Chains A and B, each alone.
Chain A
Amino acid sequence: MNFRPGNTILALLAFMVLSAGAQSGNKPKIKRQVIEAVEGLRYSPVRLSMKQGEQLELKFVNRDPNDQPHNLVIIKPGSLPAIQAASLEIGPDSIKNQYVPEHKAVLAASSLLESDKSGTLTFEPDAKGIYHYVCTFPGHAAVMYGAIYVNQRPPRDLASDPNIPKMVRDLEMEKVKKALEVERPAVTRAFLPDAGPAAIAVALPGKLNYCWDAGNCRLRYAWSGAFIDRRAMLNSNGSKLTSVLETPFWSAGGGESDYSLQTVDPKARPDFKGYRLVNGVPEFRYLIGDLEIRESLTPFEEGLKWQFQIKGTSGPVRIFSPGAVESDQGKRDGDYWVFDPNASGTYTLKIKSPK
């Protein structure tokens, strides 16, 4: 490759000509976009981003296979509830107006399209904000809408975007959960909700999960289904909480100064010693005074088998275990199960999980 000065001059000239072309006039930059109405009263895509000063040139195509008519109406930020309500009021002019409500929040609208028909509309936002597009055919607006982010960054995940329909969010969440599913069993240490800073999340076979707190050596809560979402934490300096993907079916409640296991010495604090993986499932080890404790949770048909092995017990063993916790061995005393010491040192409880 030869570098000749002539080329530079030609290139500079070409650049100058191109620049001059771009600067003439004050026409907005055109942003072209196709939005389709798809099966299940949804728009695809369900959100867009653009900048103020751009003109959106939308092609709207009705691809709904269920022979449903749809329109696409762009409305002012914050007016979605009003337009949803207005779309249900059918008046004498509704059909003539393509079911677009006569409302000051309407900024642009397509005509009502039958399946496989398409139309165009343009939109030039005059301020930053979140503008919705919505189908105002009666009965659709409650679920069929999308969002245009103008000079504003949308939440990273569709699953956590409050400006799109819940149905779409839920579908996305299902995808997220599927993508985040782990090979079970798995043990992950992280900052978890409703636990101390030294928390441990465990995924067991059978889609059962629990949070165990190594700070005060106790089970905090259990949930079934998808495990945890660490993405926010992994994409930060570690400050972000790791989220638990389902609502716990059981929780011990309480805070940092509560302990599960109460022994003869009520003042003794547990001292965490770690865990051993038995077929991948952790068996936690800790000391309370002179006692050596092993605690494990394993899945069984009805939920979690919660087992303590205690070396050195001399008095009754009291385990704080509120709610749907059963045992074949001991006595229920309020929120506690109470066991007389036995020769094997093994005390078993069962936390029932919902079917």
Chain B
Amino acid sequence: MMTKFKLTSVIAICAASFLRAEHPGYQVEALPFEDGTDAQVGGIDVLPDGRLAVCFHHGDLRLYDPKTRTWSLFAQGLHEPLGIVTESPTSFVVMQRPELTRISDTDGDGKADLFETVCDDFGMTGNYHEFAFGPVRDPEGNYVIALNVASNGASIRPEIRGDWLELGVPREDFMKSWGSVKGKAGRMYSRTPYRGWIVKVDPKSGKMTPWASGFRSPNGLGYDGEGRLYVTDNQGDWRGTSPLHHVEKGKFYGHPASLPWTEGYDGPPPLEIPVAELEKLRTPAAIWFTQGSMANSPTQPVLIPEGFGPFAGQLLVGEMNRARIVRVIQEEINGVVQGACTPFIDDSGLDRGINRLAFGPDNTLWTGQTHLSWAGGEGMRRITWKGKNSFQDVKSISLTRDGFEVEFLQPVTPAELEKITLRRYTFAYHSAYGSPQKEQSEIAVKTVALEPGNRRFLIKTANPHRKDFCYEFQFPMCQNPLLCYTVREIPN
């Protein structure tokens, strides 16, 4: 028995040290929760004093003081809150399933007593997949929210809110003969107003303005330093792989269920529109997260501030299916936003299910995990920059006419350059769930140093670039070897 014990101990120690491997540049710590807490996080914001406002799947809005490492209850009973914005230390705007709500403490006892409906002008069928995401503030101070479509994993409820869009399937049939109409409903369906839309809400009047359509499950909104809005979405129907969209007013982002809510829409039911027509209407993703290797369910994008290591100005995006935060390196080519994504931190103390991210005034990154009935995790993490730039990764990448210009954090040796590989593939745009990698091919590369110091190189590609292809690099010398660049436009 003794020998057996020793053997398993050795294996256990090896496994544990592998999982705990710390990131050389970033410290990851878990936040304390009381035993028995269902710590599934729907939203995080950081107050100017460094405290956190966090809303949870179980309906609480709690405040966390990092100085004392203690939680206090601010409000409870919220319905699937999935985002929060601080308006003042005593007032928060929270996206609940049924409405955007301003939750305030007006009598100074530290607990909310006023729940003001900022906006509930969107429909609900009661289908579980009609999540409401956001809010984030646009540069003018408006709230931006995203309204998920319903899933034919379930029908609707007997009572709905808002107008009903029949599209050849009467509402009674959704209730009485769901089994037979399920297929006709569409895999994801939008039968009440503005499902599948990004909408803006005036913070004072609550007036709602439909902003952009074509979304499926847009569980992540954020702005970059240039005031550009980004929204993630999830692989599925009309989503060959999970995308990051650069969202502009009036554009359509590819999932057709939401189209009939367009003002003056007189087209056919969405599922009857030929794909070629939809192709003409849609704005494709700015960046693809390759399913299986990069991210399967990307979440909230946040802007990296100065003081959090070498990547200021880029974006971080959470991922549900593995213990990973993804980094996005965005650029504009011919007026179109595109760019690359690469893992930022893998494992190193992270959990799966990173649903929400927020930076504090001291450049601490806070993450909150969730799972509901999908893959994911629980709890929260605090991530800080160790202050020393000692690891190797791609700092930035930019598309050139005949290759990619890449800057590394550390000098690269000729032997390391030899090991760089590149392949490309694309994803189908269709109603079926997801897409395999299509038209895969290996691309030969040649590197040319751009300046002394061996940190900046031009990676020349043997074949001309192809639009709407994902270019997948392996940089074996990097902390995170995988990097994917989505080509939409090619520099003139």
Q: Do A and B bind each other?
A: yes
Q: In the complex, which residues of chain A have a beta carbon less than 8 angstroms from the beta carbon of B372?
A: 236-238
Stretch at the interface among B109-117, B226-234, B281-289, B337-345: B109-117
The answer to whether A197 and B7 touch across the interface, beta carbons within 8 angstroms, is no
> How far is the CB of A6 from the nearest CB of chain B, in Å?
8
B205-240 toward A: CB 8 Å interface, digit per residue (1/0)? 000000000000000000000000000000000000
A153 to B76, CA, bound (A): 34
- Tell me which residues from 181 to 195 in chain A have a Cβ below 8 Å from any Cβ of chain B: 186-191, 195
> How far is the CB of A222 from the nearest CB of chain B, in Å?
18
- Given B3, B112, B114, which contacts A11 in the complex, CB threshold below 8 Å? B3
The answer to whether A237 and B373 touch across the interface, beta carbons within 8 angstroms, is yes
19 contacts between A and B (CB under 8 A): A11-B7, A188-B76, A189-B78, A196-B124, A197-B157, A198-B98, A198-B99, A214-B98, A214-B99, A214-B120, A236-B373, A237-B373, A238-B372, A255-B159, A256-B159, A256-B161, A272-B120, A273-B117, A282-B115
> How far is the CB of B78 from the nearest CB of chain A, in Å?
6
The answer to whether the Cβ of A26 comes within 8 Å of any Cβ in the partner chain is no
The answer to whether the Cβ of B79 comes within 8 Å of any Cβ in the partner chain is yes
List the A residue with the shortest CB-CB distance to B103.
A274
Contacts A189-B77, A256-B161, A272-B117; A198 near B7 (Cβ below 8 A): no
The answer to whether B117 and A7 touch across the interface, beta carbons within 8 angstroms, is no
Q: In the complex, which residues of chain B have a beta carbon less than 8 angstroms from the beta carbon of A274?
A: 101-102, 114-117
- Given A14, A186, A215, which contacts B3 in the complex, CB threshold below 8 Å? A14
**A-B contacts at CB below 8 angstroms, number:** 108
The answer to whether the Cβ of B125 comes within 8 Å of any Cβ in the partner chain is yes
- Given B10, B114, B116, B124, which contacts A198 in the complex, CB threshold below 8 Å? B124
The answer to whether the Cβ of B6 comes within 8 Å of any Cβ in the partner chain is yes
- Given B77, B80, B112, B115, which contacts A238 in the complex, CB threshold below 8 Å? B80
> How far is the CB of B219 from the nearest CB of chain A, in Å?
12
- Tell me which residues from 7 to 23 in chain B have a Cβ below 8 Å from any Cβ of chain A: 7, 9-10
A190 to B80, CA, bound (A): 8
- Tell me which residues from 222 to 246 in chain A have a Cβ below 8 Å from any Cβ of chain B: 230, 234, 236-239
The answer to whether B159 and A197 touch across the interface, beta carbons within 8 angstroms, is yes
15 more CB-based (< 8 A) A-B contacts, given A15-B4, A197-B124: A3-B6, A7-B3, A7-B6, A186-B77, A188-B77, A189-B79, A197-B97, A198-B98, A198-B124, A214-B99, A215-B98, A239-B154, A256-B160, A274-B117, A276-B114
A201 to B261, CA, bound (A): 32
Q: In the complex, which residues of chain A have a beta carbon less than 8 angstroms from the beta carbon of B128?
A: 236-239
The answer to whether the Cβ of B374 comes within 8 Å of any Cβ in the partner chain is yes
The answer to whether A277 and B373 touch across the interface, beta carbons within 8 angstroms, is no
The answer to whether the Cβ of A1 comes within 8 Å of any Cβ in the partner chain is yes
The answer to whether the Cβ of B349 comes within 8 Å of any Cβ in the partner chain is no
The answer to whether B159 and A196 touch across the interface, beta carbons within 8 angstroms, is yes
Q: In the complex, which residues of chain B have a beta carbon less than 8 angstroms from the beta carbon of A215?
A: 98, 124, 159, 161
A195 to B79, CA, bound (A): 15
The answer to whether the Cβ of A22 comes within 8 Å of any Cβ in the partner chain is no
Contacts A234-B58, A238-B80; A197 near B160 (Cβ below 8 A): yes
Taking residues whose C-beta sits less than 8 angstroms from the other chain, chain A's interface range is: 35 or more
Q: In the complex, which residues of chain B have a beta carbon less than 8 angstroms from the beta carbon of A300?
A: none
B79-119 toward A: CB 8 Å interface, digit per residue (1/0)? 11000000000000000111101100000000011111100
The answer to whether the Cβ of B270 comes within 8 Å of any Cβ in the partner chain is no
Q: In the complex, which residues of chain A have a beta carbon less than 8 angstroms from the beta carbon of B38?
A: 234
Pick the most buried of B57, B79, B99, B128: most chain A CB atoms within 10 A of its CB.
Answer: B79
> How far is the CB of A211 from the nearest CB of chain B, in Å?
12
> How far is the CB of A196 from the nearest CB of chain B, in Å?
4
Pick the most buried of B98, B129, B374: most chain A CB atoms within 10 A of its CB.
Answer: B98
Majority DSSP secondary structure for residues of B touching A: loop
- Given B4, B57, B113, B159, which contacts A277 in the complex, CB threshold below 8 Å? B113
The answer to whether A275 and B115 touch across the interface, beta carbons within 8 angstroms, is yes
The answer to whether the Cβ of B59 comes within 8 Å of any Cβ in the partner chain is yes
Contacts A234-B57, A236-B372, A239-B154; A197 near B3 (Cβ below 8 A): no
Contacts A7-B6, A237-B373, A272-B117; A197 near B126 (Cβ below 8 A): yes
Q: In the complex, which residues of chain B have a beta carbon less than 8 angstroms from the beta carbon of A272?
A: 99, 117, 120
Q: In the complex, which residues of chain A have a beta carbon less than 8 angstroms from the beta carbon of B9?
A: 1
Q: In the complex, which residues of chain A have a beta carbon less than 8 angstroms from the beta carbon of B374?
A: 237
Q: In the complex, which residues of chain B have a beta carbon less than 8 angstroms from the beta carbon of A195?
A: 159
A292 to B127, CA, bound (A): 31
Q: In the complex, which residues of chain B have a beta carbon less than 8 angstroms from the beta carbon of A256?
A: 159-161
The answer to whether the Cβ of A8 comes within 8 Å of any Cβ in the partner chain is yes
Q: In the complex, which residues of chain A have a beta carbon less than 8 angstroms from the beta carbon of B116?
A: 273-274
- Given B79, B112, B120, B161, which contacts A190 in the complex, CB threshold below 8 Å? B79
The answer to whether B4 and A14 touch across the interface, beta carbons within 8 angstroms, is yes
A186 to B6, CA, bound (A): 54
> How far is the CB of B202 from the nearest CB of chain A, in Å?
15
Q: In the complex, which residues of chain A have a beta carbon less than 8 angstroms from the beta carbon of B157?
A: 191, 197
- Tell me which residues from 263 to 281 in chain A have a Cβ below 8 Å from any Cβ of chain B: 272-278
The answer to whether the Cβ of A10 comes within 8 Å of any Cβ in the partner chain is yes
A175 to B102, CA, bound (A): 36
A218 to B432, CA, bound (A): 42
The answer to whether B114 and A189 touch across the interface, beta carbons within 8 angstroms, is no
> How far is the CB of B212 from the nearest CB of chain A, in Å?
24
> How far is the CB of B161 from the nearest CB of chain A, in Å?
4
A190-221 toward B: CB 8 Å interface, digit per residue (1/0)? 11000111100000000000000011000000
Q: In the complex, which residues of chain B have a beta carbon less than 8 angstroms from the beta carbon of A275?
A: 115
The answer to whether A8 and B7 touch across the interface, beta carbons within 8 angstroms, is yes
Q: In the complex, which residues of chain B have a beta carbon less than 8 angstroms from the beta carbon of A15?
A: 4
